[in-house]
Structure 1
Amino acid sequence: DQLDAKADEIAALMRRIPGGADVQLRSPPGTAGVDIRLRLDRLAAYGLQPAAVLDAVQAAYEGKVVGKGYVGNRIFELAVILPPDWRQDPDDVGQLPLRAAEGEVLTLDQVADIRAGEGRYNVLHRGSRRVQSITAGVAGRDLASFMAELKRRTLAEITFPTDTYPEFTGAAIEQAKARNELILHALLAGAGVLLLIYIAIGDLRHTLLTLVNLPFSLVGGVLAALLSGGILSVGSLVGFVTLFGITVRNAIMLISHYRHLVEIDGKPWNLATAVQGAQERLPSILMTALVTALAMLPIAVNSDNPGREIMGPMAAIIVGGLFSSTVLNLLLLPAMLLRFGHFAGK
């Protein structure tokens, strides 16, 4: 019908899109099958009930549990089913033995008309409306770009009648929703963190200079994402959020130490003080980055293993971002604070 025709067009389009693999219709039309129509007059002549015949067919081709077996303290279900070779040939269906009421053994083709045919093994519905689902895997490219191209080409190349419309669902859509929610929550959390940083530092200029450190970590994180495949997944976003938190912490530690040197120790704010503060904060900042990177490195190296689809990209971005942020934090941030910062003794 019309729904199946449009589903075939979409399936053909998905096969032409680069990266589309294993495209299938969940309810394909024209599926080969065997049509068994019981003859009630023959059943009555042999004293058979239709339900008994159907139970025999189901047990022969789907299997039926008939008892339980015990081996020590373990229990096993015992089932009967025809051998695989007998279940593959449609001509053998008619030779299925049945036992009549008087004990006579007869075959299925004696009480039923059996013929090969085509049909649909299931009919999909949702909300009292018929649906047809096309599934596919993606190989050699990321889900987001494949889904974007599929949407664009489907709406541009296929014309749908007024009572039929496409709906795109699956892992790519769920990942996009999760990514958007994570970005929104990260922005809200970032606003709260910014307020807390301002309260802790007490100076708007130094607060803004702390945020300048974020691009330092972004450099290494982006490079790590490109080297690991260039796919921005939910795990990658979690890695960036974690990385930004560590980077801001290191910047706050450095600025707080500069304030201590100037306001408590009474040192003038000049190049010598900037170098001294960076040198004294080098061990703590370096150890924080080193311990975190060593913990994440095994996960980042084996990120292609199954089960690490989220942890792998997250760990790779944290490792790459920590490297760039630590180096630039100790080199560029003191110079920027020396040029734009202001520390005054009490």
Structure 2
Amino acid sequence: ISGVRAAVAVKIYGDDMDVLNSTAVEVSEVLGQVPGASEVTVEQTTGLPMLTIDIDRDQIARYGLSLDTVQQAVAVAIGGREAGTLFQGDRRFDIVVRLPDEIRSDLAAIERLPIALPRELNSTISYIPLGEVATLDLAPGPNQISREEGKRRIVVSANVRGRDIGSFVSEAEQKIQAQVDIPAGYWIDWGGTFEQLESATKRLQIVVPVALLLVFILLFMMFNNVKDGLLVFTGIPFALTGGIVALWLRDIPLSISAGVGFIALSGVAVLNGLVMISFIRSLREQGLPLDTAIREGALTRLRPVLMTALVASLGFVPMALNVGTGAEVQRPLATVVIGGILSSTVLTLLVLPLLYQMAHRREDELEEQEIALAADRTS
């Protein structure tokens, strides 16, 4: 998003490059002290050799020279000037006149560059060296000047090791604000892949509730019953609990890939509960008592629920153990899915039947009372 490949980038904005460089050095020192920071670097903006020619205006006035005459001579010698055009068939090439490369890189040779003096009446043209009317200096200058939002910008980048980017940036912001004095008219902004984390987090805040709402709507459409839909929906918190515990046991921070794993996990958890509740409902429709239907349904659906859980969890084991390229994305996702499926399966087999019994026992008792009253009336 920001053109910075590092995990975290501190972008400093202002006008004066010297102030930007000094502030960037202070920021890099503070950033390097934050636990988890690695490869802290400051954008290289200086170090390019630059030739500075300072023309002495008083001296050129003594020789009767104009500033433009000296500048034109230097521009032609170093930069070159078009002197004609070379034609080769239908192709054209500009002919540029300038000094050879070995002379243009020699400071002493440039100082001897002849500058033509003004021609007086009936006099011959004479020359003086450039060093007589100018001072030449070859010193490091700006390597590049980056701009963003209408201001000059310099970037301090860092990668994060052993912790999540969100907590790292939060701690780094506090330390930089407390230890670095940002001059008036200058400000800092955060970029890098941290911007992707923020944008993905905002997107998930919309996607996750919408996905859960759609799941509940589908459950309601299937059962035509809010109570049974909520019972199946309880598999989601069961699964989330296992995923969080698995992340904690493996000391893996909560990341966007882990969030995606929670979304995938919710589908498997709902599927297991759906298999069991739908079978129990079918047994009750056949006339079996509540307790018998729950016992038969739990025992009969044990194998399908275990098969679903094992297939889904074992398939993620290679991702969970990966240490190569892409491990930072695969490990959190796989860990969440495996841990959540295990907890969801156990709780689905043990807790869900109990919840179903508690939810429908009152309804079953009312039905028995109605049957008893109807029998009394008949008798």
- Closer, same or farther in 2 for the Cα pair 1:112/1:341, shift >3 Å? farther
Q: Answer yes or no: is 1:19 the counterpart of 2:36.
A: yes
In 2, distance between residues paired with 1:118 and 1:50? Answer: 18
**Structure with greater Cα Rg:** 2
What SS does the aligned partner of 2:288 have? coil
Of the candidates 260, 281, 284, which is equivalent to residue 301 of structure 2?
Answer: 281
Matches within 5 A, 1:233-244: 233-244=255-266
Q: Answer yes or no: is 1:268 the counterpart of 2:306.
A: no
Equivalent in the alignment of 2:333: 314
Matches within 5 A, 1:101-120: 108-109=105-106, 111-112=109-110, 117-120=139-142
Of the candidates 184, 194, 201, which is equivalent to residue 172 of structure 1?
Answer: 194
Matches within 5 A, 1:71-110: 108-109=105-106
In 2, distance between residues paired with 1:108 and 1:117? Answer: 13
Is the Cα–Cα contact under 8 Å of residues 43 and 155 in structure 2 kept in the other structure? yes
Equivalent in the alignment of 2:227: 205
What SS does the aligned partner of 2:199 have? helix
In 2, distance between residues paired with 1:99 and 1:325? Answer: 78
What SS does the aligned partner of 2:157 have? strand
After TM superposition, give the deviation of residue 151 of structure 1 in Å.
Answer: 1.6
Is the Cα–Cα contact under 8 Å of residues 27 and 123 in structure 1 kept in the other structure? no
In 2, distance between residues paired with 1:106 and 1:33? Answer: 19
In 2, distance between residues paired with 1:249 and 1:221? Answer: 17
Unpaired stretches in structure 2, ≥5 consecutive residues: 1-17, 56-68, 81-98, 112-135, 368-379
In 2, distance between residues paired with 1:174 and 1:323? Answer: 31
- Closer, same or farther in 2 for the Cα pair 1:237/1:107, shift >3 Å? closer
Q: Answer yes or no: is 1:305 the counterpart of 2:320.
A: no
**Per-residue displacement from partner, 1:252-299 (whole Å, max 9, x unpaired)?**
111111110011x210111x3212101111121111111111211111
Is the Cα–Cα contact under 8 Å of residues 123 and 130 in structure 1 kept in the other structure? yes
What SS does the aligned partner of 1:309 have? helix
Equivalent in the alignment of 2:346: 327
After TM superposition, give the deviation of residue 181 of structure 1 in Å.
Answer: 0.9
Equivalent in the alignment of 1:61: none
Equivalent in the alignment of 2:167: 145
In 1, distance between residues paired with 2:51 and 2:183? Answer: 36
- Closer, same or farther in 2 for the Cα pair 1:106/1:245, shift >3 Å? closer
Stretch moving more, 212-221 or 239-248: 212-221
After TM superposition, give the deviation of residue 108 of structure 1 in Å.
Answer: 4.2
In 2, distance between residues paired with 1:277 and 1:171? Answer: 49
Of the candidates 125, 135, 143, which is equivalent to residue 147 of structure 2?
Answer: 125
User: What is the one-letter code of the residue matched to 2:266?
Assistant: F
What TM-score do the two structures reach when normalised by structure 1? Answer: 0.74
Is the Cα–Cα contact under 8 Å of residues 103 and 110 in structure 2 kept in the other structure? no
**Per-residue displacement from partner, 1:103-136 (whole Å, max 9, x unpaired)?**
xx97942533686633221111113211121111
What SS does the aligned partner of 2:41 have? strand
After TM superposition, give the deviation of residue 37 of structure 1 in Å.
Answer: 6.1
In 1, distance between residues paired with 2:78 and 2:184? Answer: 44
After TM superposition, give the deviation of residue 308 of structure 1 in Å.
Answer: 3.6
- Closer, same or farther in 2 for the Cα pair 1:106/1:238, shift >3 Å? closer
- Closer, same or farther in 2 for the Cα pair 1:3/1:214, shift >3 Å? same
User: What is the one-letter code of the residue matched to 2:354?
Assistant: A
Q: Answer yes or no: is 1:336 the counterpart of 2:355.
A: yes
In 2, distance between residues paired with 1:21 and 1:116? Answer: 35
In 2, distance between residues paired with 1:195 and 1:106? Answer: 80
Q: Answer yes or no: is 1:217 the counterpart of 2:253.
A: no
- Closer, same or farther in 2 for the Cα pair 1:106/1:129, shift >3 Å? closer
Is the Cα–Cα contact under 8 Å of residues 42 and 155 in structure 2 kept in the other structure? yes
Equivalent in the alignment of 2:372: none
Unpaired stretches in structure 1, ≥5 consecutive residues: 53-97
